[in-house]
Amino acid sequence: MSSWEVGSMRLSNVKTRSETGLDHVMQSINVLTPFGKKRMKELNPFLPGDEKALQDEFGKLEELLVLAEKKPQIAEELSETFMDMKDISFTIERSKGNALSVVELFEVKSLLLKMKRITELLEASESKLSEEFLLEDTGQLLDTLDPRQDRMHTFYIYDDFSETLGELRKRKREIEIRLRKIQKEIKLEIDRHYGITLTPKFDYTVSKSNKELVKIIKEIPELVAGDEDYLSVTFHLKGTEETDAVNQQMDQLNERIEEEELIIREKLSEEIFKHSLTLLENCNKIGALDFTLAKAVYAKQHNCIRPELVLDHQIEIEDGRHLVVEEILNAKKKDYCPVSIRLFDGVTCITGANMGGKTVSLKLVGLVAILTQYGFFVPCKKARVGLSNYIHILIGDSQSVQRGLSSFGSEMEELKEILDHSKDRSLLLIDEIASGTNPVEGLALTKSLVSYLKARPYISLITTHFDSVAVGGHIRNMQVRGLAQADFHRLEKELRYANRKERIEIIQKYMDYRLYEADNGEEIPKDALNIAKMLGIYDEIIENAKQYLK
């Protein structure tokens, strides 16, 4: 189990992180480097007592948000620099006692060039940034790997690395010229005596169908058959005593060059190892910069703000938006209706008809709380959050149904998990508990659960259809405004000629998803009957339902 999973399980389970929308946000931020992805994977939540560390995290996020807003070009260039960056931690560690290959040396040089570029961009931003983002100077090592200081993303063992290497390569070039001169003389002799012109590579290819020519060339003493396939045969210059002697010198020189290159690679690897701690620390800093910049850009794109941390266990959201739902609505070119709510230890019930957005409001509270505790800015106009020790959302679980449990059995199984794991400063989000059993027992169970939770130091937010659940002391009743202030005459007019899909969307357009706190004795709006009537349920049935309500 990864550190992300261990740390996260202390605060919430996998389902809660998914249902609240945290996983969606984590998948949506554009982390580019392997170091940033590692940072995100190892992310742990901040718990009560970690407020100072979380404030520091928010401060760093705010620094990069300011950079992204005031210097967008630099933020974009930083992102471009992060692209295609490889994790070469193993190569850096392997430099101890090993000669790195030319490819590995190229990767180290490329990383050093990216580190140099990141430093230049941060300096050009003129921003006051946390030390966690400022890279240690690696210019000396870069000069060692790039003696010509051309600062190109290539690597070659230049003659500049060693006078001995330069001298050996010079002698090799002289021998190559001498060998080529000898071969040219032989080529001219063959041309003069046999009328055959060899290629610049000193070979000659003949079609096997020309048997007479093949026979003639085979008799030329200076040539020997080499490559052959089913169509042709290629002849090459045969070695002479003079060329063999020169080639022997060449082989000896190549061995000495390889030995010298190995010595150079060993020395360069030693230098890399001397700077290994700095390099690895810089990789960690790049990870922090990449991940935090990605969070800042996401916050900028989604109008997220820095939540205010408080020591008391409470959650206050002003004009909050659930990011997943908002993205869906934006794709349909529809507006999101922001929701405000204040929660303290105790039980708060949200009542209202289906289609009223109760579940979305429940998830919004979870999203704001859990984003805060993972160091993200939140999608609100304003937010005040006291950290929780445990967050759990209980919502319909199709997977449990698929594995054989009824929806009610699934709920009870998960409710047991909540009761077993809840502790001081828990945030419990429960959606329509006991809606899958008969209403009499469901109401009794819901009332009993509310009575149990209101005496505990938890913030408990429960959505329910049962009106009387929210009656009694120490229980707050939040109601969805719904269609209470809708223009029904206009609404019915729009519905008259609409098809089934359009009718649902029209009602949603008129629905007010905002919450208000109702007195315990206040009558709950009967939006369900209104919606049923507008969707075509017969008046006789609606009127009888009203009589039963009395």
Parallel, antiparallel, or unpaired: how do β-strands 382-386 and 390-394 relate? unpaired
Cα dist. 280→89, 102, 107, 115, 274 in Å?
7, 20, 14, 12, 12
Give this prediction's pTM.
Answer: 0.84
**9-18 burial code (b ≥16 CB/10 A, e <16):** eebbbebbbe
How far, in Å, are 63, 222, 229 from residue 216 at the CA level?
82, 12, 19
Residues 6 or more apart whose Cβ sits within 8 Å of residue 220: 190, 194, 196, 235
Strand arrangement, sheet containing 390-394:
390-394, 426-431, 458-464, 346-351, 475-482, 512-518
pLDDT in tens for each of the 550 residues of the chain? Answer: 444 444 456 899 999 999 999 999 999 999 999 999 999 999 999 999 999 999 999 999 999 999 999 999 999 999 999 998 999 999 999 999 999 999 999 999 999 999 999 999 999 999 889 999 999 999 999 999 999 999 999 999 999 999 999 999 999 999 999 999 999 999 999 999 998 899 999 999 999 999 999 999 999 999 999 888 989 999 999 999 999 999 999 999 999 999 999 999 999 999 999 999 999 999 999 999 999 999 999 999 999 999 999 999 999 999 999 999 999 888 888 888 899 999 999 999 888 766 668 889 999 999 999 999 999 999 999 999 999 999 999 987 544 434 444 677 777 888 899 999 999 999 999 998 877 677 788 888 888 888 889 889 999 999 987 777 777 777 888 887 766 666 666 767 767 777 777 776 766 666 667 777 777 555 555 667 777 777 777 777 877 777 766 6
Round to whole Å and give the CA distance between 496 and 14.
45
pLDDT in tens, 290-316: 999 999 999 999 999 999 999 999 999
Report pLDDT digits (tens) over 156-213. Answer: 999 999 999 999 999 999 999 999 999 999 999 999 999 889 999 999 999 999 999 9
The H or E element spanning position 295 is: helix 276-301
Q: Are 57 and 375 in contact (CB under 8 A)?
A: yes
541 phi/psi in degrees, rounded to 5: -70, -40
435 by Cβ neighbours in 10 Å (0-12 / 13-18 / 19+) ranks as middle
Instruction: Work out the burial of residue 532: count CB atoms within 10 Å of its CB; fewer than 13 is exposed, 13-18 middle, 19 or more buried.
Output: middle
Mean pLDDT of the chain: 88
Q: Helix, strand or coil for residue 477? A: strand
In angstroms, the Cα distances linking 167 to 163, 251, 252, 257, 434 are 6, 16, 14, 10, 87
| Apex 377 CA angle, 83 and 425, nearest 5 | 130
Query: Does residue 339 contact residue 514 with C-beta atoms inside 8 Å?
Result: yes
Cα separation, 380 vs 369, in Å, equals 12
β-pairing verdict for 232-237 and 223-228: antiparallel
DSSP string, 217-276: HHT-TTEEEEEE-SSEEEEEEPP-HHHHHHHHHHHHHHHHHHHHHHHHHHHHHHHHHHTH
Instruction: Report the DSSP pairing between strands 512-518 and 346-351.
Output: unpaired
Q: Residue 345 in contact with residue 101, Cβ under 8 Å? A: no
87 in helix, strand or coil? coil
